[in-house]
Chain A
Amino acid sequence: MRQIAKILWIAPSIIAVGFIAAACTPTVQIVAPDKPIEINLNINMKIEQNVRVRVERELDRANQANPGIF
């Protein structure tokens, strides 16, 4: 009788410990941010000449200011 009572007590304890352990295991895993920037070309590719000229002027400046990335 005592044996059975002991088993009845131990079994749920083991299950409870299992649940607690499971709850403590981190499920959110952080993936390394090595994902490249995705292509998005769903844009208006028609660029007016005057817009291109002033953007290119700024790009020239930016290209000179940032050697090694262009």
Chain B
Amino acid sequence: MMNSVSKFLPKTIIGAVFAVFAATAALAVDNGGPVDTAIASRIIGEQANGYLGFVRTPTTAQADLQRTINEINIRRRAVYTEVATSQNETVDRVALLQALRQIQKAAIGDYFRDTANVWCAKSATTRSLQAADGTIVISCAAQ
């Protein structure tokens, strides 16, 4: 009896450790599943501050999604901070440039939050560009 337990236990531990590693690895590359689905469903979207956000206040049923979003945002902030430090820029300005990239590559119909904090669906009249004077324009309103 004792022998079978001691034989069984290490395998379980190895299995558990492996499962944790596998879960972490899956998380590290997971932007294909729930996040993309939520973007396509207009539940979340890119914001002009360079982070993902909920279009409407998340429900309790969306707690898992909210955790995932927070995790992504924390990792984004780490990236922005690193780039900002190496380029002698502010984190906010680096984040703004990434926001421009994100919103430019978003699909028509995806929701985004502009620099006036307004949420809207990306369309032919919304703008995400750099103006001639260098100003980054991320706007729901037409010109």
A residues bordering B, Cβ < 8 Å?
A: 34, 36-41, 43-49, 51-52, 54-56, 58-59, 62-63, 66-70
Contact between chains at A47 and B31 (CB < 8 Å) = no
Contact A62:B83 (CB < 8 A) given known A68-B28, A68-B30 = yes
Contact between chains at B97 and A47 (CB < 8 Å) = yes
State which of B28, B53, B94, B135 has its C-beta within 8 Å of the C-beta of A55. B94
In angstroms, how far is the closest chain B Cβ from the Cβ of A21?
Answer: 32
Which residues of the other chain, B, contact A46 by a CB distance below 8 angstroms?
133-136
Contact between chains at B96 and A54 (CB < 8 Å) = no
Contact between chains at B70 and A36 (CB < 8 Å) = yes
Contact between chains at B83 and A70 (CB < 8 Å) = no
State which of A43, A49, A54, A63 has its C-beta within 8 Å of the C-beta of B134. A49
A62 to B101, CA, bound (A): 13
Query: Is B128 on the interface with A (CB-CB < 8 A)?
Result: no
Contact A37:B77 (CB < 8 A) given known A43-B92, A55-B83, A69-B31 = yes
Contact between chains at A41 and B49 (CB < 8 Å) = yes
Query: Is B126 on the interface with A (CB-CB < 8 A)?
Result: no
